[in-house]
Structures are given as structure tokens and as C-alpha cells.
Structure 1
Amino acid sequence: MPTAIIADDERLMRDQLRLRLNQVWPELEIIGEAKNGDEAVALVAELKPDLTFLDIRMPGTNGMEAARLIGTQSNIVFVTAYDQYAVEAFERGAVDYVLKPPEQERLQVTVERLKLRLEKPKEAANDSVTAMLSQLAEKMAAPKPTYLQWIQASIGQDLRMIPVEEILFFRSDEKYTCVQTDRFEALIRKPVRDLAEELDPALFWQIHRATLVNVNAIEGVTRDIRGRHLVLIKGKSDKLEVSRSFLHLFKQM
């Protein structure tokens, strides 16, 4: 039977991943758990698991550092809440990954990859993994882009400087973009497609070609009688339509 350990600083995530793995790969034996990278490295040396599921971001020794220390002793599977550089690199197949929270359908794809990897000669796989880890570390260490902190908007004859964290959502029509806060509504001429490139994607999600919403302002998602998905805004009666191409954003909620 193939064996594995799970390393994540969140107990709930370890339990959830263990449960999902048992559903899609009952033959896999989870022989240990770790709360950080140091414990993971020690467990690998002691238990010699075939697979090591490593959370990328852990306090102390993180997943990337632990992976280097583990080296060729175990096949690495990174666990990530979504890092654009990580996912881009992992999709090339040199290193496997699991997205948080683990979904059964997506995890099944990872499991099939892992089964194939375990059939390959270890030396061939290790060379590609080492090269990918170096490339990934460089990308993740690169300077983070700077995002808009303020929006300059008009309210009647007045001009306001609005901190982006106070904005609930942006919604465009043909000429203007409405900037909605908890206290007032303002207008700007910048279209949503430009704002989407200038705002932090971790704070603002584009849910429609004409709408951006602050994730902290989302109360929930509902459906209307026509089957459309609508985002509910905390403290507001507004319901923002979600385009089909953006529905994947809410699978983790």
C-alpha cells in the first residue's frame, strides 16, 4: 500500500484532506501528520512515506523550505489556498498540488497523477522536481505588484478620495462606473476591465464583465427564479449577478 503524511498548521485542513483522500484513494495509508515544516522533515526521515502533502504557507519552516530539505526522500504534493505562480508551475506536471479546500473531483485528478508518478523511476522524477522547485521559489520571491489604495471619484460637484477597502463593489454601465460604499455612491469614468488589473485580486473579485465586488462585503450567494446566481451584499439590498464564467470563485465558499 502507498503511504503518505500530511503537513498543515490548521488541524481542520489536515482532517479534511485526510477525509477526501480516503474517499478517492482508500488504498493510501496516512501514516503521520505534522503541524509545520520541521515536523514534516522529521516524519519523512523517520517514516519514509511515498508521498508528503505539504502546505505551502506554514509558520517557521514553510512548505517550500521543507520540500528542499526532504529532497528525494519522498514525492512532494503541495497544498495551496491558490497561488497563481504555484498553480501555473504545478500544472506543468513536475510537481503535484492540491487546492484548498480539497474538492473530491479535483483531488481525483491529482490522485491519478500521483499513481502514475509512483510507477516512474525515482531518479527521473527527482530531476524535474528539483528544477521546478528552484524556478517556483524565484517566482514566489519576486516583488509583489502594487495595487490601487485609493479611488478618486465624483459625488455631485465634490471630488472624494475613497480607500479601496471601504468600497463594496464597482458596477459599470456604458459611460460610467458606480463606486458603492456603505455610506454613499460615487461615479468614475474608468471601466471595470481596467480596475480589475489595478486592484488586488485577493480583495476584489470580478464576477461579471461589468462588476467587481469586495470579497469582505459578500454576505452570500443565492439563485433567482431564472436560475441566475446573485451575490448578496452585507447591509445592502443590492444583488449582483454572477456570470457563468466566474462561478468557480464561489466553489470554495
Structure 2
Amino acid sequence: MPTAIIADDERLMRDQLRMRLSQAWPELEIVGEAKNGDEAVELVAQLTPDLTFLDIRMPGKTGMEAAREIGNQSHIVFVTAYDQYAVEAFERGAIDYIMKPTEVERLQLTVERLKERLAKPNGAVNDSVTAMLSQLAEKIAAPKPKYLQWIQASIGQDLRMIPVEEILFFRSDEKYTCVQTEKLEALIRKPVRDLAEELDPSLFWQIHRATLVNVNAIEGVTRDIRGRHLVMVKGRPEKLEVSRSFLHLFKQM
């Protein structure tokens, strides 16, 4: 039975990938999970898995840096949301990758390729791939965009500074945008289209022209009697409508 570990700093993404892998490759045993690159390197040394699924961007040691340390100990599969230059390199190289959010068709292709490689001797990372990792690691280390860390919002007559990680969702009407946290609701004048450009896209998904939702606040997705897809938010009664242009984000959930 082949074994694997999953390394991603987002629990939701680890859970989703574990579920998708159980569907696409029931024989694969997930023997461990890591929240960062350092933990991934340690787990590989301890558990010697056949496969290591590495998120490219993680706090501390990146997935690229972890892959270079892991070397030939395990076959590397990168998980990426937006590193297009890396994806292009993977298409030309000997490394597999999975895009976020995980798509069944692409995952099935990756699984078939992995089965073939595991069936061959010395099927893990080779020297030429290690050289490619070094080049990509330099690009990954480039300065990251500076996203909003705080939202300045009005609550009655008061002005509050709200950390973005505490915000469950943003929802706009014609004049204002509602900022909803677990404990409070506030208003700002900035429209969702501007917020979508200023917030980290790995933390906030736009699901409607008037709605942004914190990925970590998503409890699930359901449908109403009209066939509309609705996002359920943890701890909240509201259900946020997903417009057709953003359904691809939840196609596999």
C-alpha cells in the first residue's frame, strides 16, 4: 500500500486534499500531516512516505525549500494556488502538481502519473529536478504582495481596526459594505471589487460580485430549492449565494 503525507498551513486545504485523494486513490494511506515545511521534512525522515504533497507557500520553510531537503527520500507533489510560472515548469519537468482548489479531473491525472512513477525504480526526485527546484525556489523567495492586514470600519459612532483574519465575510449593497466578524458587524464604504484586489486571495475568495468570504470560515456548500449554491458560514445563520462565474471554486467541494 503506497503511503503519503500532506503539508499545508491551511487545515481546510489539508482536509479537502485528503478527501479528494481518498476518492481518487483509495489504496493510498495518508500517514501524516504537516503545517509547514520544517514539519514536512521531519515527517518524511520519520515516516519515509512514498509521496509528499507540499504546498508551495508555507510559513517558515517554503515547500520548495522543504523539497530540496527531502530530495530522494520521497516523491514530491506540489500543491499551488497561483504560482503560474511554477506550474509551467512542472508541466515540462518530472514533478507533479495539483492546483487549489483541487479538481477531480486534474487529480485523477496526477494519480495515474504517480502510480506509473512509483512502479519504476528510482522514481523519486532526481538531480535534474533538484536543479529545477533551486531555480524555482529563487522565484518563490521573491517579495510577496503586501495585502491588507486591518480593516478600518465604523460601528455606530466608533471607528474600529479589525484584523482581516477575524473577518468571516464582506457583503456589499449599493452604498456600503458590511464587514462581519464572529462578534460584530461593521460598515465600510469600500466596494467588494476593490477589496478583492487588496486582500490575500488565498484567504478571501470572491463568490459573488458583492461578496467575499474567508476560506477558513466556510463550513460547507449547499443548494436551495431553486438550485442556487449557498455557502454556509461557521457559527452564522446567513447563507451566502455563489454566482455562476465563481462556482468553479466549489465544484469539487
Aligned residues: 234
Q: Please give the alpha-carbon distance, in whole angstroms, between the structure 1 residues aligned to 2:170 and 2:117.
A: 45
Relative contact order: is structure 1 or structure 2 higher (C-alpha 8 Å, sep ≥ 6)? 2
Q: Please give the alpha-carbon distance, in whole angstroms, between the structure 2 residues aligned to 1:13 and 1:180.
A: 25
Over 3 Å counting, the alpha-carbon distance change for 1:247 and 1:155 in structure 2 is: same
Structure 1 gaps of 5+ residues are 45-50
Q: Which of the pair has more CA radius of gyration?
A: 1
Q: Which position in structure 1 is the counterpart of 2:37?
A: none
CA contact (8 A) 2:41 2:69 kept: no
Q: Please give the alpha-carbon distance, in whole angstroms, between the structure 1 residues aligned to 2:181 and 2:190.
A: 17
Q: Please give the alpha-carbon distance, in whole angstroms, between the structure 1 residues aligned to 2:144 and 2:200.
A: 11
Q: Which position in structure 2 is the counterpart of 1:242?
A: 242
Look up the SS of the partner of 1:84 in the other structure: coil
Superposition RMSD in Å: 4.7
CA contact (8 A) 1:9 1:59 kept: no
Q: Which position in structure 2 is the counterpart of 1:90?
A: 87
Q: Please give the alpha-carbon distance, in whole angstroms, between the structure 2 residues aligned to 1:17 and 1:173.
A: 36
Question: What amino acid is aligned across from residue 56 of structure 1 in structure 2?
Answer: L
Higher alpha-carbon deviation: 185-194 or 129-138: 129-138
CA deviations over 1:115-174 (Å, ceiling 9, x no partner): 8989xxx9xx96863453123211332344332222112344443322323322211223
| Identical-residue share of aligned pairs (%) | 65
Task: Give the TM-score normalised by structure 2.
Answer: 0.65
Task: Give the TM-score normalised by structure 1.
Answer: 0.65
Question: What amino acid is aligned across from residue 77 of structure 2 in structure 1?
Answer: F
CA contact (8 A) 1:67 1:76 kept: no
Higher alpha-carbon deviation: 130-139 or 35-44: 35-44
CA deviations over 1:158-203 (Å, ceiling 9, x no partner): 4332232332221122332222234443322211121112223333
Q: Does residue 152 in structure 1 map to residue 152 in structure 2?
A: yes
Q: Please give the alpha-carbon distance, in whole angstroms, between the structure 1 residues aligned to 2:238 and 2:112.
A: 43
CA contact (8 A) 1:7 1:55 kept: yes
CA contact (8 A) 2:222 2:232 kept: yes
CA contact (8 A) 1:89 1:132 kept: no
Q: Please give the alpha-carbon distance, in whole angstroms, between the structure 2 residues aligned to 1:172 and 1:60.
A: 35
Over 3 Å counting, the alpha-carbon distance change for 1:205 and 1:114 in structure 2 is: same
Q: Which position in structure 2 is the counterpart of 1:219?
A: 219
